[in-house]
Amino acid sequence: MTCDIIMPARNQEHTLPRVIAALSRQKLTAGDRLRLILADDGSTDGTSAVARRACRSGRLDLKIVDTHRRGAAAARNRALEQAAADIVLLLGADIILRPAAVARHFALHRRETAMRAAGLGMVRWDPRLSPTPFMEWLIHGGPQNNFDALLGISTAPPAQYWYASHLSAKAGLLRGCTFNETFTGYGWEDLELGRRLQTAGCTLYVLHEAIGLHTHRYSAADIFRRQAAAGRQLPRYQQLHPAVRLLPVRSLRGRIKQHLLVQSGAHAALKLLLKHTGSRVTTPRLFSLAADTEFWQGVKQELRLK
């Protein structure tokens, strides 16, 4: 069986050597083959050159596609156009796969031969990052990918869990159903594709033993920026799927509360506090309040622009 690894990247020269080294160390059976298709989305560092050196060192086949800062959706689509393998593995440029991870994806697709079968791998923090309390909150109740909810289950709804950071599918499935390129910022482009695939009958199997380590350190400021960016993308998702209620009708009390929080400067003060304490102190309710407010400010900004 063959697998093309679809990886969008922008300014990832520092993470790619470890990511590619991990791909080169995958424990595969005889006849299994991997190729990396890297979509360099307008990097200004040495991303492509580093990828070439790392692949030569690890004896991993490489194809580079230049996508000129068009966003993750377009980058993945351009890479998918080059895919010729039996399956594709969507992988983040900061995800280090453990040695048996790809073999778990191969095993799934050998067992589940239907075109609409896909496999979701797990993602955990790389322990070498010494994750902060803020980072741990992100994946245990915060807005980062909700892997906790998958414990003990074998399948998950693609509309909620089509996480393109570590996911495999038959190449033919994604040739016929690509990412929507109107999503040019951070967030929602993978879940929007998952919703369409779910409607088409896709079954997403949860691969608990296929593990990737997220080697990206996030500060509170990083998360606030990502939350605002994700909020700005949500109205586009809602426009594409008007029957799915994602923009709730908020109570007058809730709208007044958030307005006062922002206009009084309390939200800015809370963000400043968390930027200084998030690496040392666990305050989930404050984390959640600040992140949610930032997200909805992003939504409001996008709606005003329209």
pLDDT single digits (tens) 252-295: 676 677 777 777 887 788 778 777 777 777 787 888 888 888 88
Asked whether the predicted pLDDT for residue 23 surpasses 90, the reply is: yes
pLDDT value at position 247? 67
What DSSP character marks residue 181? Answer: T
- Relative orientation angle of helices 284-305 and 252-263, to the nearest 10 degrees: 100
List residues bridging with 167 in a β-sheet: 90, 120
Beta strand pairing call for 95-97 and 87-91: unpaired
Confidence (pTM): 0.90
pLDDT value at position 285? 83
pLDDT value at position 34? 96
pLDDT value at position 248? 60
Alpha helices, DSSP H, located in the chain: 16-24, 47-58, 72-81, 101-111, 133-139, 158-161, 171-175, 189-199, 220-240, 252-263, 266-277, 284-305
How is the chain split into domains, by residue range?
Answer: 2-214, 220-305
Domain 2-214 has CATH 3.40.50.620: no
Q: Are 299 and 246 in contact (CB under 8 A)?
A: no
Nearest to 160 by CA among 202, 209, 217: 202
Asked whether the predicted pLDDT for residue 158 surpasses 70, the reply is: yes
Nearest to 129 by CA among 22, 17, 213, 222: 213
Mean pLDDT across 186-192:
90
Cβ neighbours of residue 154 under 8 Å, at least 6 residues apart? 205, 206
pLDDT single digits (tens) 224-257: 888 899 888 998 899 899 888 776 666 667 667 7
pLDDT value at position 306? 59
